[in-house]
Amino acid sequence: MTRPLLIAFDGPAASGKGTLASVIAADYGLPFLDTGLLYRAAGHLAHVRHIDPVLAATLIDAETLADEALRGRDAGERASQVAAIPEVRAALFTYQQDFANQPAGAVLDGRDIGTVIAPHATVKLFVTAAPEVRAHRRWLQLVKLNPDLSEAEVLSDIRIRDERDSSRSSAPLEKATDALLLDTSDLGIEAAIATARSLVKSRL
Ligand SMILES: Nc1ncnc2c1ncn2[C@@H]1O[C@H](COP(=O)(O)OP(=O)(O)OP(=O)(O)O)[C@@H](O)[C@H]1O
Ligand SMILES: Nc1ccn([C@@H]2O[C@H](COP(=O)(O)O)[C@@H](O)[C@H]2O)c(=O)n1
């Protein structure tokens, strides 16, 4: 019997992995999970309810995940802080693994999908881009909500988050040895999608 198609996208903030993952999910008719949203929700809930982040991770539901505040700059920073706590990762593990292993197959994007959540994935892509390029993309998104935000501030956030995500002891951001590398620094969205499509095809 053939195994369900499972595709893992990992990479640093604003590299474009979510954009690519959602397109590939639509191409193959697969359910898609943005796992970063879970960490954003845990960090945000812990902050607004003044509760332990581990408890917050157990309280995430559809309503929490729909909160627009999760898209903001503070939510990204808080997510990265709580994501370094092994007990928070453990609290979110089963939900992600169940999503990955559903009979319909799945696409997930995050930091540890190819290494920890779905090391058995059919295809793994590690999507990256230069920090300055990622900062520009993220700034274009965030400046709509906060016109005073400078690109330099976003670049500083990105560098701090990269360092924290890559150096934590539990499930750090790293390329799985069998992941295909996709650097989108010099690729517009359409070119990045075309490259992702051909990389996925090459592994099927
Ligand atoms: N190749 C690209 N060229 C230009 N802009 C891009 C490209 N890929 C994505 N973007 C834009 O950059 C922004 C960030 O992309 P996206 O949300 O896919 O990144 P991400 O890696 O999933 O980020 P995060 O980890 O923070 O969720 C979006 O506004 C998206 O439209
Ligand atoms: N699988 C994952 C996904 C995310 N994180 C942490 O959450 C932060 C926010 O993620 P975004 O993808 O929404 O930017 C990120 O910086 C990571 O710290 C994670 O650890 N594992």
* ipTM for the whole predicted complex goes beyond 0.90: yes
* Mean pLDDT across 36-44: 98
Which ligand minimizes its atom distance to the CA of 70?
Answer: 2
Instruction: Tell how far the Cα of 136 is from the centroid of ligand 1, in angstroms.
Output: 10
Cβ pair 154, 72 in contact under 8 A: no
Structural domain of 124: 6-202
In a domain, 142, yes or no: yes
pTM summary value: 0.97
Residue 12 marked as a ligand binder: yes
User: Looking at ligand 1, which atom is closest to the CA of residue 192?
Assistant: 1
In a domain, 41, yes or no: yes
Considering only CA atoms, which residue is closest to atom 11 of ligand 2? 36
Confidence of residue 3 (pLDDT cuts 50, 70, 90): confident
Q: Residue 17: CB within 6 Å of ligand 1?
A: yes
* Mean pLDDT across 11-22: 98
Q: Residue 165: CB within 6 Å of ligand 2?
A: yes
Instruction: Tell how far the Cα of 154 is from the centroid of ligand 2, in angstroms.
Output: 16
Q: Residue 137: CB within 6 Å of ligand 2?
A: no
In a domain, 101, yes or no: yes
Instruction: Tell how far the Cα of 12 is from the centroid of ligand 2, in angstroms.
Output: 8
Residue 14 marked as a ligand binder: yes
For residue 117, give both structure tokens. 């959540």
Residue 1 confidence (pLDDT): 65
169: burial class by Cβ within 10 Å (0-12, 13-18, 19+)?
exposed
In a domain, 1, yes or no: no
Domains in the chain, number: 1
Helix-then-strand count for the chain, H and E:
9, 5
CATH code (residue 145): 3.40.50.300
Residue 22 confidence (pLDDT): 98
Separation of alpha carbons 171 and 80, rounded Å: 12
- The secondary element (H helix, E strand) that includes residue 21 is helix 17-28
* Mean pLDDT across 22-35: 98
In a domain, 110, yes or no: yes
In a domain, 74, yes or no: yes
Instruction: Tell how far the Cα of 96 is from the centroid of ligand 1, in angstroms.
Output: 22
